[in-house]
Structure 1
């Protein structure tokens, strides 16, 4: 089975509260890694997401330590939807 990590950036214009955290995270751009595994046996290449991780603090925030926080893709999508509602 082949694995890969796809890096994206989640942009928040307002502070947001991560599940399991007591204090909100500030607005900013956050690195997100999505770990995926290939699905064997198909005639086409397909990938299945097995984990997503949000990196704290936001990109460009000074500091020497980083924290990688697991997050469900549905939770991340919900947070982004609240931050960027569609009309």
Structure 2
């Protein structure tokens, strides 16, 4: 069985939680590791995702340790969507509270 993995970076602008976990993670950049396996028996090369992990770098007394936290693709997308919505709402609020310039 042929396997491959890829890494991408996602950015959270606000503290967030992941479905299935109780702790709150700080805003920042996180690496996402996706593992895929080659689908056998096809006339072309295709892969199926078998696992997705979010890399959590510990801080404080646990600094230097890294955890690969299993997460579903849909759970990660949900957390990212919530973060985008919070960012959009806070940007809208800032615009509404900005003082108007007197152009006279």
Same fold (TM over 0.5): yes
Match of 1:65 in 2: 65
Using structure 2 for the length normalisation, give the TM-score: 0.72
The residue number in structure 1 matching 2:44 is: 44
Corresponding position: 1:53 with 2:45: no
Q: Give the Cα–Cα distance (whole angstroms) in 2 for the partners of residues 22 and 46 of structure 1.
A: 35
Higher RCO (CA < 8 A, seq sep 6+): 1
Gaps of 5+ in 2: 89-104
TM-score with structure 1 length normalisation? 0.84
Calculate the aligned-residue CA RMSD, in Å.
Answer: 1.9
Q: Where does residue 29 of structure 2 map in the other structure? A: 29
CA shift, 1:44, in A, is 1.6
More helix per residue: 1 or 2? 2
**Which structure 1 residue ranges, 5 or more long, are not aligned?**
none
Larger Rg: 2
The ranges of structure 1 where at least 4 consecutive aligned residues each deviate by more than 3 angstroms after the TM superposition are: none
The count of aligned residue pairs is 84
1:4-46: CA deviation from partner (whole Å, max 9, x where unpaired): 0011111111110123333310010001100000111112211
